A and B are shown apart, each in its own frame.
Chain A
Amino acid sequence: ETVLTQSPDFQSVTPKEKVTITCRASQSIGSSLHWYQQKPDQSPKLLIKYASQSISGVPSRFSGSGSGTDFTLTINSLEAEDAAAYYCHQSSNFPITFGQGTRLEIK
């Protein structure tokens, strides 16, 4: 099983800050890494697919990068509405797996 390890687990940030969340895979997964946002009491929403591809309707302040085993989700100029949990997910190897999540708190 491909283990995805996110860091940090939790971050408290102020509006307009730049935030970086990392996801490291236990084996190479190419670019088959996706990012989701889950707000409290809501279902996950796809933010970025295949490491860096944008999703229609997602604000441009969200971007992704990386390949192989190391990936990054960047949120530029954080807004209050970005308070949520963020998960990475790999679709390269069976079974598909998720990172443990990163919770963002807005100060």
Chain B
Amino acid sequence: EVQLVESGGGLVQPGGSLRLSCTASGFTFSNYWMHWVRQAPGKGLVWVSRIHSDGSNRDYADFVKGRFTVSRDNAKNTLYLQMNSLRAEDTAVYYCARGGADYQWRDLLDYWGQGTLVTVSS
């Protein structure tokens, strides 16, 4: 059974940093693209970032570029999102989601974690 478990969320002051983790199980993690998607309270889904199966290719939404960094450790089956210079508008539940194994399917998000809440407030 595919499982994705996020952790690392919490309350942080504006300008602060946080690192989210997503631990995967039930599939060969190193074969798949992985994504981060966020959802502000009461709002819709917004894509944040993606990373190639071997970490060689990373992409970001414009509103996090230069502040967030996605990475992965395939030996630990874990995806990360380092978030710096956090702003109030970054407050959201952050989900990790599995993309495809092949390039053409990379953006089909077939499994999602339960999410971790990040609150940016003073």
Contact = CB atoms under 8 A, between A and B. Distances in A.
* Chain B interface mostly: loop
A18 B52 CA distance: 40
A81 to B, nearest CB: 19
B88 to A, nearest CB: 21
Interface string B37-78: 000000011110000000000010110000000000000000
Chain A, interface size category, equals 20 to 34
A87 B110 CA distance: 14
Chain B, interface size category, equals 10 to 19
* Chain A interface mostly: loop
A99 B44 contact: yes
A87 B59 contact: no
A43 B95 contact: yes
A43 B115 contact: yes
Interface of A: 32, 34, 36, 38, 42-46, 49-50, 55, 87, 89, 91, 94-101
